[in-house]
Structure 1
């Protein structure tokens, strides 16, 4: 039985929360694409990554250079809603994340569009305010 949108989304979030670049990349098809269209070209977070190998390499490098490791996701205060579409291989995640850190709790809202193929992510478009990733 193929994984549900919720299962895929929750595994993706867990890989990100635990900063596990290998697990995150493994969720993508071999030719999968991760896009962050709102990110400027010179930002530390990559704007577009093509292929599982490139996703793994770039996300691992991003995790290594990230300086704000004291921010942790507050699961109890974070919320998400998954929206089904007419295409069974496409779903949308509407997310409000609460992040606890030394300066208190901050919130980040974002939208992710997932396109699946054979139970893996073929395309993920991640729409967030890049200044909140610094």
Structure 2
């Protein structure tokens, strides 16, 4: 039984954004899957391109290790997304607004980060993910 785009997306978000589990995240991709963040400049902390499940696993593990342990986490109750299916059953697009609560220690206000992700699916796994977000968020 094949998974719906909604199920694939939710599995990806749970593994990455919610739990920061590089093993679970990598398992959402095909063996030769590609993760791309085309707007991220070369040399940024966040990987610009990862090819293959093992590179996705190791690249995201390295990124997660660099994140501050006490950094702000997304507020999933305030966040939202709209998933768009396309004429191609193997492609879907997700518009995401991720909300972060105010940080009283630094006087930062609530923040909403908007991004777009394009998923290409093969055999119920992500064959290619293009993640478009403001690169200054991760550099």
Query: Structure 1 residue 59 and structure 2 residue 76: aligned?
Result: no
1:9-48 paired onto structure 2 within 5 Å: 9-16=9-16, 17-48=18-49
Q: TM-score, normalised by structure 1?
A: 0.95
Does the aligned pair in 2 maintain the 1:12–1:24 contact within 8 Å? Answer: yes
Distance 1:14 1:24, change over 3 A: same
SS class of match (1:11): helix
State the distance in 2 between where 1:6 and 1:117 align.
15
State the distance in 1 between where 2:69 and 2:130 align.
23
Match of 2:124 among 87, 102, 119: 119
Unaligned residue ranges in structure 1 (runs of 5+)? none
State the distance in 1 between where 2:19 and 2:101 align.
15
Distance 1:61 1:77, change over 3 A: same
Does the aligned pair in 2 maintain the 1:31–1:52 contact within 8 Å? Answer: yes
Equivalence for 1:4 = 4
Unaligned residue ranges in structure 2 (runs of 5+)? none
State the distance in 2 between where 1:67 and 1:56 align.
19
State the distance in 2 between where 1:86 and 1:14 align.
26
Q: TM-score, normalised by structure 2?
A: 0.92
Structure 1 vs Structure 2 CA RMSD? 1.3
SS class of match (1:3): coil
Aligned residues: 134
State the distance in 1 between where 2:90 and 2:76 align.
27
State the distance in 1 between where 2:23 and 2:102 align.
25
Alpha-carbon deviation of 1:101?
A: 5.3
